[in-house]
Amino acid sequence: MNTTESLKDYQRVRLLAIRSLFEIIEQSSEGTVIVDRDANIVWMNERYAKRFGLQSAQSAIGKACESVIPGSLLREVVRTGRPILLDMQDTPKEPLVVMRLPIHDDAGEVIGAIGFALFDELRSLSPMLKRYMSMQEELASTRSLLRARQTKYNFAHFIGTSAASLEVKRRARRSASTDSPVLLLGETGTGKELLAQAIHNASPRALKAFVSVNSAAIPESLLEAEFFGTAPGAFTGADRKARAGKLQIAQGGTLFLDEIGDMPLPLQSKLLRVLQEKEFEPVGSNDVIQSDVRVIAATSTDLEAAIKRGEFRADLYYRLNVLPIQVPPLRDRLDDLPALSEAILEELRSQHELNGEALALLGQHAWPGNIRELRNVLERAALLSDDLRLTVADIRAAIGTFTPVERMAPLPVEPLEHETFSAARARFDRQLIETTLAQCGGKVVEAAARLGLGRSTLYKKMLALGIAESP
C-alpha cells in the first residue's frame, strides 16, 4: 500500500470513528441537539424534543436554541469556539448532565455546535456525587473542628518586661522549635495555658489542633476514655460507634495536659508509653494507633515532693521534665503591673485608667490568685466606679481582704521528741493548710490559690490529713 492509499485509509477510518462515536453517544444519551453558526437548531432527536414538551423534533428546526432549551449555552460555544465538557442543564422534569462541543469546517472555522444530554436523573453519576458530597461534609466537619481547636494566644499576650518575664518568654520561644515535651511549673493563675498556646502557635504544628485536658476536672473513672478514646461498645452504656479520644483529636498537633500532678497513677503509666513508644490503644480495642502529638504539661503541684510521697511516677516526671519552664507568680514580677493592668483594661474594653496611688496599692498586694486575681480586681473596680480614673478606694474595695506581700512568713515547726521526718512534714502541712483556710474564711478555692495548689490537690491533702471542710 502506497502513501496516498494509506492516507486515504486513515481518513476513512477517522470519519467512520467520528460517525460511530456520534451514533453511540446519540443513542445512549438522553438527548442530542445541533445548532448552526447563528445558534439556530438544525437537528434534534425525538427524545430531547419530548423532554421539552415538543410535538416532534421537526418543530424545533430553525428556532433559536434558547427558545426551545431555556438556559442553553450552545450560543456561547459557537461564539467562543470552546467546549463545555460537563455542566448541569435544567429541564421541566429533572436536571441533566450535558456536554457541549463546537463544530469546525475543514478550514477550522466554527460553523455550529452540538450538545449531548449525557445522564438522566444523575443516576449514572449518583455514586460519584454521593462520594463527593460525603467528602465535602467530612472536610467541613474537620475544618470546623480544627477552627474550634485553634489557639487564641501568642507570645505577645504574655505581658511583661521584667527580668523574670523575659526569661520565661526566652525559654518558651526556644522550646517552640522542638517536639520535646515541655513542663510548665507555677502557681494557678500565672498564665501557664497562655504560654502553652503561645508555644504551639510558634511551632511547626501551629496549623494543627491544640487540645487541652485538665486532669483535675475530669472524674478519674472517665480519664482513660477521655485520653485514649473508646472502641464501639467498650463498656456498658458506651456508644455503638467508636469515640475518638483527645490523643486522636490532637494528632499532628499539641496535647496540653493541665494539672498533670493530679493525674491518677494508672493513667500516668499509659501516658509514659505514649511518650516513649509513640502509640496507644483505645479503651476496649486491640488496635494500636500511632501517636504524633507534642505534649506540653503544666502543674501547680511540687512534682518532686509528689514523687517522694508516691503520688507521681518518677519516670514520667523525667520524661516530661525535658524543657522545664518556671512561670513566676505575680508577686515576683511586680514591675509588670503597669503593663499588665493596661492590657487587662484594654481587653475588658474599659476606658478606665489607674492613678499613681492606685497602681502603688496594687504593688503592695501579695496576689495569691496571680494574674487571674488581678483581672478580677480590675474588672470589679471598673464596674463599680463611676469615675474613669480608678483610685485607691476603688482598688481597695475591689480587692476586699487585703493580703500584704510580706504576709507569707514561714510557720515555725519545732521537732517533737522521737518524731520522724514524715510525721513532722505531715504536721507542718496540717498547720499550714489550717492556717491558710482560716485566713481565707474556709474558702478552699482561695486557700488553694494562696498555697499554689490545684483545688483537687488541696482536697486530697485535706482528706489525707483529716482536715474537714468548713460548712
Q: Taking residues 4-27, what's their average pLDDT?
A: 67
The reported pLDDT for the residue numbered 181 is 94
As given in the structure block, the three cell numbers for residue 283 are 479503651
pLDDT at 132 over 80: no
The reported pLDDT for the residue numbered 215 is 83
Please report which helix (H) or strand (E) contains residue 128, including its range: helix 126-148
User: Is the distance from CB of 344 to CB of 374 less than 8 angstroms?
Assistant: yes
Q: For 452, phi and psi rounded to 5 degrees?
A: 75, 30
Per-residue pLDDT band for 113 (boundaries 50, 70, 90) equals very high
Tally of CB atoms within 10 A around 235 = 10
Pairing label, strands 279-280, 110-120: unpaired
Report the percentage of the chain scoring pLDDT > 70: 82
The span from the CA of 167 to the CA of 43, in Å, is 82
Q: Give the range among 108-122, 165-179, 349-363, 393-407 with minimum mean pLDDT.
A: 393-407
The reported pLDDT for the residue numbered 166 is 92
User: Is the distance from CB of 437 to CB of 447 less than 8 angstroms?
Assistant: yes
pLDDT at 407 over 50: no
Pairing label, strands 353-354, 389-390: parallel
Q: Is 114 helix (H, G, I), strand (E, B) or coil?
A: strand
Q: Taking residues 371-379, what's their average pLDDT?
A: 92
Q: Give the range among 58-62, 364-368, 464-468 with minimum mean pLDDT.
A: 464-468
Q: Among 133-137, 213-217, 347-351, which range has the highest average pLDDT?
A: 347-351
- Looking at residue 372, its amino acid is R
The span from the CA of 337 to the CA of 359, in Å, is 8
The reported pLDDT for the residue numbered 139 is 60
Beta bridge partners, 236, equal none
Per-residue pLDDT band for 371 (boundaries 50, 70, 90) equals very high
The reported pLDDT for the residue numbered 240 is 64
Which has the higher per-residue pLDDT, 71 or 11?
Answer: 71
pLDDT at 445 over 90: no
Per-residue pLDDT band for 30 (boundaries 50, 70, 90) equals confident
Q: What value, to the nearest 5°, has the Cα angle with vertex 157 and ends 154 and 163?
A: 110
pLDDT at 413 over 70: no
Pairing label, strands 182-185, 389-390: unpaired
Per-residue pLDDT band for 374 (boundaries 50, 70, 90) equals very high
What are the pLDDT digits (tens) for 298-351? 998 889 888 988 889 999 999 999 999 999 999 889 999 999 999 999 999 989
pLDDT at 262 over 70: yes
Tell me, yes or no, if the pTM score tops 0.85. Answer: no
pLDDT at 5 over 70: no
The span from the CA of 274 to the CA of 278, in Å, is 5
What are the pLDDT digits (tens) for 163-189? 889 999 999 999 999 999 999 999 888
What are the pLDDT digits (tens) for 137-168? 666 655 555 555 567 889 999 999 998 899 99
pLDDT at 409 over 50: no
Handedness of CA 62, 63, 69, 75 (dihedral sign): positive
The reported pLDDT for the residue numbered 179 is 92
Which has the higher per-residue pLDDT, 167 or 27?
Answer: 167
pLDDT at 236 over 70: no
How does the average pLDDT of the chain come out, rounded? Answer: 83
The reported pLDDT for the residue numbered 378 is 94
Per-residue pLDDT band for 191 (boundaries 50, 70, 90) equals very high
The span from the CA of 308 to the CA of 306, in Å, is 5
Least Cα distance to 317 among 122, 185, 155 occurs for 185
Per-residue pLDDT band for 408 (boundaries 50, 70, 90) equals very low
- Looking at residue 447, its amino acid is A
What are the pLDDT digits (tens) for 121-131? 555 555 655 66
Which DSSP string do the residues of 304-369 spell out, in sequence order?
A: HHHHHTTSS-HHHHHHHTTEEEEPPPGGG-GGGHHHHHHHHHHHTT---EE-HHHHHHHTTB--TT
End-to-end CA distance of the chain: 111
